[in-house]
Chains A and B, each alone.
Chain A
Amino acid sequence: MIESTTRVLVQGITGRHGSFHTGLMLEYGTNVVAGVTPGKGGEEVHGVPVFDTVEEAVDETGAEASVVFVPAPFAPDAVMEAIEAGLDPIVVITEHIPAHDTMMFVQLAEEYGVRIIGPNTPGIIVPPERTKMGIMPHQVFSEGSVAVASRSGTLTYEIVHHLTEAGIGQSVCVGLGGDTVVGMTFIDFLEMVEEDPDTEAVVLIGEIGGSAEEEAAEYIAETDYPKPVVAYIAGRHAPPGKRMGHAGAIVHRGQGTAESKEKAFLEAGVEVAKTPWEVPELLKEYL
């Protein structure tokens, strides 16, 4: 999905988070070629040239993918600018974007055939390529052949930490983002790594709420997914959430609980770890 040679653009590069994490991305090895902040064209951040528009940045540097740190009120516009400029993937780190705004740019991206990761995501990291787009603390990660997708930031670090300690490296890790509406789903991720020769097994880190895990389980069962998958679900002892009307219950009957997700995974032949450190134990039999 991204490689060490991928030419990365940082939108919102002059902001506090944008500039700080541009430094860390460069330090890790990401090929950051340009930044965009409207009105700050001509400046430099960590030696990276800043442009006023995405179009200029693409023309001048050949940027191919974008990571977005733009604050929530302006982020949807920034993402649409990146979509229309043909950047892919677009990783949206920004949190607190209204769900209706996300719905619009996710829909637009689908029409353009562009992949969105996030919003409210720690991003994507590809340890074998020493490349990341996002804010993941890269010390935790190690090179290997397990692909990890997660709905939660720090819980990803926790589980990857146990993988790395157990000597199990990662081919790619993606934070799907914690918002109600996000771009890339578990299914998109499974499709993405299905043909990846560097990925031998997949870890899905889910949590209660929504039906993304149940849908992933259904996809694994239906496609007879060719690679082993191990899952972890957070929230099995969380109290029931407050009822928010009937529509969700009607559309996704009985889904959303830890039991429903675990059952769906087990029926699809996916083992479910009870603790974060059980994930590497379950993986070992497949590697």
Chain B
Amino acid sequence: MIRLLEYQAKGLLREVGIKVPEGGVARTGEEASRIAEQIGGPVVVKAQVPVGGRGKAGGVLFADTPEEAREVARDLLGSKIKGEIVDKVLVEERLNIEEEWYAAISLDRSERIPIVLASREGGVDIEEVPDEKIARRYVDPFLGMRPFEARLVAKDAGIPREYLRDFESVLTAMYEVFDGYDAHLVEINPLVLTKEGELVAADAVVNLDQDAAVMRHPEFAEETEDFHLVELGGDVGIIANGAGLTMATVDLVKEFGGEPANFLDVGGGAYPSLIRRAILAVDDLGVSVILINIFGGITRCDDVAKGIVRAMEDVDTPMVVRLVGTNEEEGHAILKEHGIDVFEDLEEAVKRAVEIAQG
């Protein structure tokens, strides 16, 4: 899943006619001050990081003058918000807020169709709002969201009659983004009703589908790596194939008293050079042992064994290898030739790895 930055999300909303605050993206304090000057009034300076709960983490600051905007932008730029380095800020006009509403269209994985959510009680605490105050309606993806459905949701959410048609336009436009960009989520929170009586998307989240982005929206596709390493802080390095088996291996190391250093899934059909690179990446974390758990299906044990042998030239860290499945005998033979012990039993392998880590 790709979480767009706020300014990218708002760009998509603007394209379909949803009003967003006047503003611009700054990479330096100078730029921030220039944008604030153009806006000509109090501004809000927002860190552009792909995480939720940014405001509560100090990533949204206010400024009354261009000079102040420069200073708060400088404070934010280069800092870390929830582990993400800030390299851009969004400088926007401050809205005169009358009310804060909530609107979202999400691909619901249980019903497997889009769901529309709306509430008159939007804002940062939307998850605390009781269910009866949040209107919801499923949409038939073959029909798309029809305007009358948007009005039904608006009525359920208690949107005042004078804003019914405006709210309808916002929801149908959001659906255009949802459908056109293969989104998993298009969320406006808050959707601000200004004192001037306009509906403005003060903040927005758009999550896109990585596969669809690669195929149809390459401007948003994230570069994918052959494997995905997540650091967990312990000293038992872990490499496995398949997300489920890798998670299970992490769980087992923990069950047996070890501390997992990482999660690394080499996926299906791993070839020797990929296995070698995965081992080097885990070794770089400074682990005391590397536990390799491969259940061959599409992945062939002999390919894995070759990768392990090649990695041994550069790695001194002890490795505990558990290797079963497709071409198991060939794989074991290669490892034994090079003096590497190999386990068939997962429990024994996990115990051994934890033992080594604990010295």
Chain A residues in contact with chain B, CB under 8 A?
A: 72-73, 96-101, 103-104, 106-108, 122, 135-137, 140, 150-158, 161, 178, 180-182, 205, 207-208, 210-212, 215, 232, 234-239, 242-252, 274-277
- Docked Cα-Cα span, A250 to B114, in Å, equals 14
Please determine whether B244 and A248 come into contact, CB atoms closer than 8 angstroms.
no
Quote the shortest CB–CB distance from A153 to chain B (angstroms). 5
- Docked Cα-Cα span, A248 to B185, in Å, equals 9
Residues of A close to B179: CB separation below 8 A: 100
Contact partner, B295, options A158, A207, A208, A274, Cβ 8 Å: A158
- Docked Cα-Cα span, A104 to B113, in Å, equals 9
Please determine whether A153 and B242 come into contact, CB atoms closer than 8 angstroms.
yes
Residues of B close to A181: CB separation below 8 A: 107, 109, 112
Please determine whether A245 and B244 come into contact, CB atoms closer than 8 angstroms.
no
- Docked Cα-Cα span, A208 to B109, in Å, equals 14
- Docked Cα-Cα span, A232 to B232, in Å, equals 22
Write 19 A-B pairs (CB below 8 A) sorted by A numbering.
Answer: A72-B215, A96-B214, A98-B182, A100-B209, A101-B212, A103-B141, A137-B297, A178-B244, A180-B107, A207-B244, A207-B247, A208-B247, A234-B248, A237-B251, A238-B250, A245-B3, A245-B185, A246-B127, A247-B104
Quote the shortest CB–CB distance from B183 to chain A (angstroms). 8
Please determine whether A242 and B324 come into contact, CB atoms closer than 8 angstroms.
no
Please determine whether A234 and B244 come into contact, CB atoms closer than 8 angstroms.
yes
Residue B48 lies at the interface, judged by CB distance under 8 Å to chain A: no
Please determine whether A250 and B127 come into contact, CB atoms closer than 8 angstroms.
yes
Residue B273 lies at the interface, judged by CB distance under 8 Å to chain A: no
Closest Cβ neighbor of A122 among chain B residues = B297
Quick one: given A135-B298, A237-B251, are A251 and B108 in contact (CB under 8 Å)? yes
Closest Cβ neighbor of A151 among chain B residues = B244
- Docked Cα-Cα span, A216 to B260, in Å, equals 30
Quote the shortest CB–CB distance from A57 to chain B (angstroms). 26
- Docked Cα-Cα span, A277 to B256, in Å, equals 14
Quick one: given A107-B142, A246-B189, are A276 and B104 in contact (CB under 8 Å)? no
Residues of A close to B104: CB separation below 8 A: 245-247, 250
- Docked Cα-Cα span, A197 to B276, in Å, equals 48
Please determine whether B297 and A275 come into contact, CB atoms closer than 8 angstroms.
no
Please determine whether B142 and A157 come into contact, CB atoms closer than 8 angstroms.
no
Quick one: given A122-B297, A237-B251, are A153 and B53 in contact (CB under 8 Å)? no
Please determine whether B110 and A150 come into contact, CB atoms closer than 8 angstroms.
no
Residue B33 lies at the interface, judged by CB distance under 8 Å to chain A: no
Residues of A close to B112: CB separation below 8 A: 103, 106-107, 181-182
Residues of A close to B140: CB separation below 8 A: 107
Quote the shortest CB–CB distance from A158 to chain B (angstroms). 5
Please determine whether B216 and A238 come into contact, CB atoms closer than 8 angstroms.
no
Residues of B close to A101: CB separation below 8 A: 212
- Docked Cα-Cα span, A244 to B50, in Å, equals 9
- Docked Cα-Cα span, A275 to B141, in Å, equals 40
Contact partner, A103, options B50, B107, B263, Cβ 8 Å: B107
Residues of B close to A247: CB separation below 8 A: 104-106, 115, 117, 185, 187
Please determine whether B346 and A215 come into contact, CB atoms closer than 8 angstroms.
no
Quote the shortest CB–CB distance from B117 to chain A (angstroms). 6
Please determine whether B247 and A96 come into contact, CB atoms closer than 8 angstroms.
no
Quote the shortest CB–CB distance from A182 to chain B (angstroms). 8
Please determine whether A250 and B107 come into contact, CB atoms closer than 8 angstroms.
no
Please determine whether B117 and A100 come into contact, CB atoms closer than 8 angstroms.
no
Please determine whether B244 and A155 come into contact, CB atoms closer than 8 angstroms.
yes
Contact partner, A211, options B110, B189, B230, B255, Cβ 8 Å: B110
Residues of A close to B53: CB separation below 8 A: 243
Residues of B271-291 at the interface with A, using a CB-CB cut-off of 8 Å, are none
Residue B315 lies at the interface, judged by CB distance under 8 Å to chain A: no
Residues of B close to A246: CB separation below 8 A: 52, 102, 104, 126-127, 187, 189
